Amino acid sequence: MVPAPIPTFRSLQGYNPVDETAHIGTSFPSDSTQLSALLDAENSDELIRDLATLVSHRGVVFFKNQDITIQKQKELGLRLGQLTGRPAESGLHKHPVSEETPELGADTSVISSMGGIARAGYPVPSDYAILKMHTLPRVGGDTLWASGYEAYDRLSPALQRFLEGLTAEHDGNFFHNTAKKLNVPIQQNRGHLDNSGEDLRAVHPVIRTHPLTGYKSLFVNKGFTKRILELYPEESDNLLDYLYRQISENHDLQVRYKWGQNDVAIWDNRVTFHTATNDYVDNRQGNRVVGIGEKPFFDPNSKSRRAELKLSF
Ligand SMILES: O=C(O)CCC(=O)C(=O)O
């Protein structure tokens, strides 16, 4: 695969986006930039396509104090993927354990300190996630994202080659316990025909190619990845532990976001890792919409982001 030329996100330049760090995170600092207006603009297809491309290159993008409604948030979740080649059979993600509210629907996840939920392991996992945070604690509750591109790029060439082509099992079956506790069934048809049934396990490549940028990314995470299948269990445990440390111990491949009320973060789940910070006592709540992407793949001809951008630091 030949990576797309590095885009300039031309239609968005007038909104003055600012990079938060060298490797990950871009902000639109003015709250006069409203996603609701981008969605309804005359050239909205170009704007939304450029936004998706920006998110895929930068990992996560932030918008201040947004007026976007949940319906428009879902429209954005659909269009980000549809305008950038998401397979037609992928829709919006429905969480396996959804306590559905009529106003929000099963394709919205309530992220809440009063009992929230996280992503599940899927045969066809998510691409773009959009979180609007409407209720915030007085202090704390920041969210951190880490770059999967940079986590891959920092491995030695020998370890990169070793990992390419290996596969890992991801397991979300712990959601059965959550479902039992809440006395709800496991949601079926979770945004893709292959994401149905009771078994929440999937096998994915350890190094994944992003279809839009053509860059390679590390694709294992502590919450769901159980085992690199081609290795003995002890080898797999030790290597996974090292890869998780690669993600969590390198602060210069991360970005930390301090939320303002009604801020929106849009991130690409194919090439980032994220975690909330549990350091607050007040209520914290937001609504998240997530698109289902493509079946993860590794293309041996795909490129390193670092090499493509000729980064020297
Ligand atoms: O609560 C947060 O800051 C992040 C939420 C989260 O983990 C998710 O949306 O997957």
What does the DSSP assignment read for 276-307? E-----S--EEEEEEEE-PPP---TT-B-HHH
Share of the chain above pLDDT 70, in %: 94
pLDDT-wise least confident of 76-85, 164-173, 176-185, 262-271: 176-185
pLDDT above 90 as % of the chain: 76
Global pTM?
0.94
- Paired tokens of 7: 């885009």
Mean pLDDT score of the chain: 92
Boundaries of domain holding 251:
10-309
- Pocket of ligand 1, candidates 73, 95, 111: which has the most ligand atoms within 8 Å of its Cβ, to mutate? 111
- What digits encode the pLDDT tens for the residues 21-38? 999 999 999 999 999 999
Q: Of the residues 134, 144, 274, which should be mutated to test ligand 1's pocket, given the most ligand atoms within 8 Å of the CB?
A: 274
Is 96 within the bounds of a domain? yes
Residue 1 lies in a domain: no
Q: Average pLDDT, stretch 61-78?
A: 98
pLDDT recorded at residue 181: 84
Helix (H) / strand (E) element for 144: namely: strand 143-147
Q: Greater confidence, 121 or 253?
A: 253
Nearest C-alpha neighbor of 249 from the set 239, 241, 258, 257: 241
Amino acid identity of 124?
A: V
pLDDT for residue 96: 81
Residue 244: is it exposed, middle or buried by C-beta count within 10 angstroms (0-12/13-18/19+)? middle
| C-alpha–C-alpha distance, residues 51 and 38, integer Å | 10
Average pLDDT of 215-237? 97
pLDDT tens digits for range 235-290: 999 999 999 999 999 999 999 999 999 999 999 999 999 999 999 999 999 999 99
Tell whether 177 is covered by a domain. yes
Asked whether residue 4 is domain-assigned, the answer is: no
Query: At which residue do the structure tokens 């003055």 appear?
Result: 16
Q: What is the DSSP letter of 5?
A: P
* Residue 38 lies inside a defined structural domain of this protein: yes
CATH number for the domain harbouring residue 272: 3.60.130.10
Q: Pick the residue whose CA is nearest to atom 1 on ligand 1.
A: 276
CB-based pocket (< 6 A), ligand 1: 111, 118-119, 129, 131, 143, 274, 276, 288
Q: How many domains does the chain have?
A: 1
